[in-house]
Structure 1
Amino acid sequence: MRDFAMKGTHKAGLAAIAMALTLSGCVSLGKEPPPTLFTLTPTALAPAGLSASGTSAQALAVIEPDAPQRLDVARVPVQVDAATVAYLKDAVWVEKPARLFGRLLAETIRSKQTRLVVEGSDTAYAAATKLSGHLLEMGYDAGSSSVVVRFDAVLRQPDGQILTRRFEAKVSGVAPDAASVAPALNEAANTVAAEVAEWIG
């Protein structure tokens, strides 16, 4: 009886080890995170407790902008020369930059407290006024040692009129490393967002 119990325990131990080895091939805890995760933080914030109400005819929808393929990733692009793009070492966006920039736009416009701002839902698409556009650049330019944010805004108004305008902000004298590029990109993005908010009124 003792031998049977020991053999049973031994078999159970082997089974547990085999199961652990099998799971280790299916489950991964992931790689180490990069040293720097980039995000965009609005410098203009709506105050706590701010509320707004209205109809879809009064609402402004901020729609996530389109972006070219080189920006439609979590990496930070570096324009090496006119024909070459690389990505900044040890730097990754927490989300795709177009999504982050769309939220920054919405919060900056909302902070002015002049419009009912909606985003990211069916309500946004029902709004009579829509802000969309194309995020053309949000990265580092090696030739000028600067970060660049460039946005082509498209404003569709309730009467069917469409307004467009290009916005751009640069921060020069930026070292080509994640610790320097991150705050410069945030500064440039906030500058563009503030200009867009002023343009919309």
Structure 2
Amino acid sequence: MIRKALVVPALLAALSGCVSLGPKVPDTLLALTPTAAPAAGSTTSGTFANALVVMEPSAEARLAVTRVPVQIDDANVAYLKKTMWVERPSRLFQRLLAETIRARGSRLVIENDPGAAGLHLSGRLLDMGYDARTMSAVVRYDAVKESGGRVETKRFESTVPVTEAEAKYVGPALNEAANAVAKQVADWVG
């Protein structure tokens, strides 16, 4: 009886070193929070023909992951230690764009419905990370506005100085830069 009582805890202790329920969670998870968002209870209506469809921007491989890129020089990229995005930066940026445009209350905004008529906003997220050369958070977005066969493109960018390459400084700076770009895009879309 005593032997059984000692064997079970010993086996459980041995197995605990072998079983992993997932990757280690980083110290910091970053998200984007809109500085302009619709008030609770606000409504917008319209038709699909007049709606604005905000698509998730494409992004190159260094931005298509949940790690926060650090541009060391023109050819070298590292990732910020112990820090990750809560989801892909392109998806976070799409939601931020949609919320910023919705806050204006002047148009119906739909996300990821390529079949809907109306104005489509798509593009490419070129940068959303820390630039070690300039010690700044950088968000750069090439927007594509398409409606009725007419296409227009424009590049938007915002940089925010960062004192140190740590999540507690880089995270808020990236949020500020992303909100500045989202506001510029919302002004452009109208």
Report if TM-score (shorter chain) is over 0.5: yes
Q: Does the Cα contact within 8 Å between 2:162 and 2:173 map onto a contact in 1?
A: no
What is the aligned-residue identity percentage?
57
| Residues 12-161 of structure 1 mapped to structure 2, 5 A cutoff | 28-120=20-112, 122=113, 125-157=115-147, 159-161=148-150
Aligned partner of 2:84: which letter? Answer: V
Q: CA deviation at 1:76?
A: 0.5
Q: 1:194 aligns with which of 157, 179, 183?
A: 183
Q: CA deviation at 1:78?
A: 0.6
Q: CA deviation at 1:125?
A: 2.9
- Where do 5+ consecutive residues of structure 2 fail to align? none
Q: Does the Cα contact within 8 Å between 1:174 and 1:184 map onto a contact in 2?
A: no
Q: CA deviation at 1:143?
A: 0.8
Structure 2: distance between partners of 1:108 and 1:185: 16
More helix by share: 1
Q: CA deviation at 1:56?
A: 1.0
Q: CA deviation at 1:27?
A: 5.8
Structure 1: distance between partners of 2:169 and 2:111: 31
Question: For the pair shown, which has the larger CA radius of gyration, 1 or 2?
Answer: 1
SS of equivalent residue, structure 2 residue 58:
coil
SS of equivalent residue, structure 2 residue 72:
strand
- Where do 5+ consecutive residues of structure 1 fail to align? 1-5
**C-alpha root-mean-square deviation of aligned residues, in Å?**
2.5
Q: Does the Cα contact within 8 Å between 2:46 and 2:107 map onto a contact in 1?
A: no
Which consecutive segments of 4 or more residues in structure 1 shift more than 4 A? Answer: 23-27
Closer, same or farther: CA 27–49 of 1 in aligned 2, 3 Å? farther
Q: CA deviation at 1:24?
A: 6.5
TM-score normalised by L of structure 1: 0.85
SS of equivalent residue, structure 1 residue 192:
helix
Q: CA deviation at 1:50?
A: 1.4
SS of equivalent residue, structure 2 residue 165:
coil
Q: Does the Cα contact within 8 Å between 2:45 and 2:107 map onto a contact in 1?
A: no
Give the count of matched residue pairs.
Answer: 190
Structure 2: distance between partners of 1:26 and 1:125: 48
Q: CA deviation at 1:178?
A: 1.0
Aligned partner of 1:188: which letter? Answer: A
1:67-87 deviations in whole A, cap 9, x for unaligned? 011000010001101111111
